[in-house]
Amino acid sequence: MLTRRFEELDEEKVFKDPVHRYVHVRDRLIWDLIGTKEFQRLRRIRQLGTTFLTFHGAEHSRFSHSLGVYEIMRRIIEELKNYVHWDEEERLLALAAALLHDVGHGPFSHSFEKVFGTDHEQFTRDIILGDTEVHAVLERMGAHFPEKVADVIAKTYENKLIVSLISSQIDADRMDYLLRDAYFTGVSYGHFDLERIWRVMRPRDDQVVFKRSGMHAVEDYIMSRYQMYWQVYFHPVTRSAEVILRKILHRAKKLFETGYRFKHEPGLLSPLFRDNIGLADYLRLDEAVILYYFEVWQDEPDPILADLCSRFVNRRLFKYVEFSPTNLERYTELREAFTEAGIDPDYYLVVDSSSDLPYDFYRPGEEGERLPIHLLMPDGSLRELSRESDVVEAISGKKRTDHKLYYPADFIDDLSDRRAAKLRIKELLK
């Protein structure tokens, strides 16, 4: 089929969306990207990983989030049209990058990355540049178009305005996920006035700034982010499920490496265990596949693998206590007591840490330096947000970290054997 580069569809297509009401598609390029198998695969990957075990509504997919980021980008481009000239190629570049920014995510990506060292950003690049349907669609726009899309997502593209709209302290990605995750978890925080933010956006040099009159909408967005991190994303119960998931993967990999004979071979997971997973094998993994293995591994002769899988599938999660990572003595003693009690501490005594920096002003040269949000004052000057907003100032640059120790309370409560060791564990966990 021969397509003109900037072809529009005969009729606009719409997707019904609970957050944005409708997602509008007019460009052939975007419509065809949505139809690729790599993009359709995102329907089978949840946006929030194990969060559905805490907030049962959180079943939404990366597919819906990706469409949402695209829609926000489309609306921002509309708003900014009055202030900045977009040529047709740049407009489609911004839209395609918004749509594809998460295309390399796999099932439970963050846990997989910790265990296997895979990198969803690298897979995003591979999908855009490799032998895929996504690449074939992008290439119709010109030989260099796929690379430009990958560069926007990697933040190396020359037009920094486009880059900042997809990835900065206030961007289309975050605007969508905060609202979407609030909607699907059902929490009452996390809301802010998206349309108001768009209306006060102005391009200035290479970035977007916000009219002073819209400051409170921006404050709301920052607070929403702050609340969502601690109330939803770092929820201790979600982290408990994540800890178990990671330990299942650790255990299965270890068994694989030591020549254990699985009753149910790990099949599609074996390339991960061999540490050489390629794009084609990676694209075959989704959450249904992972959960299939967890289901059948409940019958494995290896008691640790079977127990951990049963915990995940049936939601029998680990309990937790606060933990100070500097208190090594307590941790060492606990490990000893676990071993004495016949509970392998490598799998059943897990420290998990979360930390977040809700907003930061510019600190040149520091690790993770971030571009600040600027307000456009009535006299035309710029002012960094935390200098003008007391609310934002209160949380600026403050990194909060939380450490917890996870363990299976049911094992320790069962005093039918190794009573003394278990009582000591209880004492130490107080």
Per-residue mark of binding to Ni ion, 133-172 (x: CB under 5 A): ----------------------------------------
CA distance 308 to 261: 18
71 binds Ni ion (CB under 5 A): no
Which one, 101 or 253, has the nearer CB to Ni ion?
101
Which one, 76 or 255, has the nearer CB to Ni ion?
76
Which one, 102 or 352, has the nearer CB to Ni ion?
102
Which one, 63 or 347, has the nearer CB to Ni ion?
63
CA distance 18 to 391: 30
Size of the site for Ni ion (CB under 5 A): 2
List the one residue out of 369, 349, 133, 149 whose CA is nearest residue 240.
349
Supply the DSSP symbol for 321.
Answer: E
Q: Which stretch binds Ni ion (CB under 5 A): 99-107, 272-280, 289-297, 348-356?
A: 99-107
User: How many CA atoms, within 13 angstroms, populate the side-chain half-sphere of residue 335?
Assistant: 11
CA 190 to chain centre: 16
What is the smallest separation between the CB atom of 46 and Ni ion, expressed in angstroms?
A: 13
Which one, 63 or 318, has the nearer CB to Ni ion?
63
CB atoms closer than 10 angstroms to residue 16 = 8
CA distance 426 to 396: 39
Which one, 101 or 250, has the nearer CB to Ni ion?
101
What is the smallest separation between the CB atom of 142 and Ni ion, expressed in angstroms?
A: 26
Three-state DSSP class for 324? Answer: coil
Q: Read off the tokens for 97.
A: 């990058």
Determine which residue in the list 38, 71, 90, 102 makes contact with Ni ion, applying CB under 5 A.
102
Q: Which stretch binds Ni ion (CB under 5 A): 144-152, 173-181, 215-223, 360-368?
A: 173-181
286 binds Ni ion (CB under 5 A): no
Determine which residue in the list 32, 38, 151, 173 makes contact with Ni ion, applying CB under 5 A.
173
CA 354 to chain centre: 14
CA distance 372 to 356: 16
What is the smallest separation between the CB atom of 65 and Ni ion, expressed in angstroms?
A: 6
Which run of H or E residues covers position 164? helix 160-166
Q: Are 412 and 426 in contact (CB under 8 A)?
A: yes
What is the smallest separation between the CB atom of 171 and Ni ion, expressed in angstroms?
A: 9
Per-residue mark of binding to Ni ion, 320-359 (x: CB under 5 A): ----------------------------------------
Which one, 102 or 307, has the nearer CB to Ni ion?
102
Which one, 173 or 302, has the nearer CB to Ni ion?
173
Distances (CA, A) of 423 to 93, 183, 321, 407: 62, 44, 16, 14
Q: Are 192 and 210 in contact (CB under 8 A)?
A: no
DSSP string over 129-152: HSSSHHHHHHHTT-TTHHHHHHHH
Q: Give the footprint of Ni ion on this chain (CB under 5 A).
A: 102, 173
